[in-house]
Structure 1
Amino acid sequence: MSGAQRLFGDDQRRARLAVRHRLAAGRAAATCEEVVDALAVLHATDPATVFLTVGARLADPAAVTARMEAALYGPASTLTRMLAMRRTMFVVPREAAPDVFAAAGQQIAARERKKLLQYLAEGGGWDEKWLAAAEAEVEAALAELGDSSGAELSRHVARLREKVTVARGKPYETTQNVASRIIRTMAAEGRIERRRPAGSWMSGQFRWARAEPLPARPVPQARAAVVRAWLAAYGPGTAADLKWWTGWGLGEVGKALDAVGAETVRLEESGEGFVLPGDSDGATAEDAPAAVLLPGLDPTPMGWQRREWFLPEEHRAALFDGTGNVGPTVWWGGEVIGGWGQRADCTVVWRRLADRGADADRAVDAAAAELTARLAGVQVTPRFRTPLERELAS
């Protein structure tokens, strides 16, 4: 990690963010894949976020739902969902999936399997041999049936209909079906994958399909690839930002930064930061600002641990829930200037938190009207609701 210790001011970081994350005028993407590449990954805990994140950055957002569904579920799909960094669900490019899995997903999958075996043993007395038989039956059912919902699989695999007792002997003792836990663990391991949901584009009830085994990657190589993608999209950032985003330890982050030859720079408020080799040279383009409405859990505001340089601390309480999930935000010139929500009649409304002038206000009004028209009467309620979004929706 070497470099000339160039200073990156907050203004310059905001300009880079707006350009690289497709939030500046004239920088909108032509395809869904371009958006994902620009952001490295999409947050997918809330299924609606995936479509709203991409639609906000496309030059032509018409038919974004159909285009994203083709990219995710079509015969030549280019994107896939997977559990990865911080045990969070992401959409990643299929070509990046082996690195993301080796860098983060496989460790999480191992922990999920350990917890599942404990859950089965304590709740039903079943062991690893029983679980292996259940998983083999799931794979055989998918080979026979094709894409199937959890309910359809349960009808064909008797072991999925078994129940376990949770909190045995306690006042809140209950029974649970084992199906969802087994299926989720198989998905975390990359043995099966989520396909088109049973409901609308906002549904989290996915069908399941057999997955092609991912090519193996050495963990150090995979972590370097993930850090390289993060620096390309989010650099400059700090080691603490990367630690938070990846869920790794600082030692693991440091090794990955060394592996990519990251250059050290100075940041205005947070000290030492890092960029890709050669990425500290030259002026940052300062494109004309554009008004953009990003959904809750959008990758941009979730990309760093420290956000004061684009989102003042005094606005955090209004825009985040109690566990650190960001709600819908309004952007102008690479910074958050407000939040938005939907009224009961599905109209998109917003509130200004930072005054950037009449031009900005008019542009946000137009963006809100455009999003209202594009949603066409569909009510999108964020999975993690925040104070300002709740207030605007009431």
Structure 2
Amino acid sequence: MLNSMPSYAHSITSRLPQVGTTIFSVMSALAQQHQAVNLSQGFPDFDAPAELLSLLDQHAKAGHNQYAPMTGVPALREAIAAKVNALYGAQYDVEAEVTVTAGATQALFTAVAAMVHPGDEVIVFTPVYDSYGPSIELQGGKVVYAHLTLPDYKPDWDEVARLITPRTRMIMLNTPHNPTGTVWTAEDMQRLIALVRDTDIVLVSDEVYEHMVFDQARHESVMRYPELAERSFVVSSFGKTYHITGWKVAYCLAPRELMAEFRKAHQFIVFTVHAPSQYALADFMKRPGWYEQLKALYQGKRDIFRQALSGSRFELLPCQGTYFQCVKYGAISDEGDRAFVERLTREQGVAAIPVSAFYPQGDDHGVIRFCFAKSAATLEKALERLIKL
């Protein structure tokens, strides 16, 4: 019996001693406990396109159920390369520069694992998506934090310049940005170009919300800028684009020298990705007009959400992209953001995420994040409750 066996817990030294249960799991569990409307985790509560689900069924029944190639099904890699060429004017070799991954988090982790050595420094921007820091620390790297400042959460490029040292190996960027919903501009990209020019710094560009940029703005992918593309791993997500977060299929693009290193790590981290999903996605990507429809869908939901809260005591922060809306709640409560979202869940029946969870030291600016990637009925129910505060 286990109880009779000696305990070795005293000899375990954690490599991630500060990491516990994620705030997303905590808030979703609390929402379920109190039967609250869950606007905390970033996933849609509506289904994927019926055509895509039908294609998945067709390919599974057609026998595409064994290992896919390590780099991804050729037809899907071809579709990805065609997409980024059409959207951004970027050309990637299908055989050497495009890899299908088991979700975007795996792609981000693999890029870090492939490039970061013990003692290397990696600059990330806070508030920061929670997988970046642990990915760096597990490789023995040092996380260096640059700050996106309220109310518009724009990068301070003078601060970034000060943070770059001879040990800087990588900069990780995320636009459109989770959790803040802000979008980097062409000027931001030019400042980044100037900073990394004549350095060996590698970039990891998390662009999973690339198709959710609002108000006629343009997504400034690093792929639009040859000086950035030549040193970048670019990551995007089918889960975000096609409402299929549970499929965990994404991709990474990089110049062949970088991708060769990426694939060395990829083959031992995950090796291959669910085959029927890849065939289905390759077929569905031929459908015209999807990206425009997606942008219109989420801008419509954002506008409904913001209009409903505009007369409330919540202070709306800018939302230029993604499917997240950040708000300040100082006119309602002086509680810390974690205490406020927990009470909001228990008493008002709406779950949100405290933005302090995206800061390494838990910096609390009185800001919380809602996800509006929800059905009209879900949003209506949540908004009815929120505007009463």
* TM-score normalized with structure 2 length: 0.28
* TM-score normalized with structure 1 length: 0.28
Bigger Rg, structure 1 or 2: 1
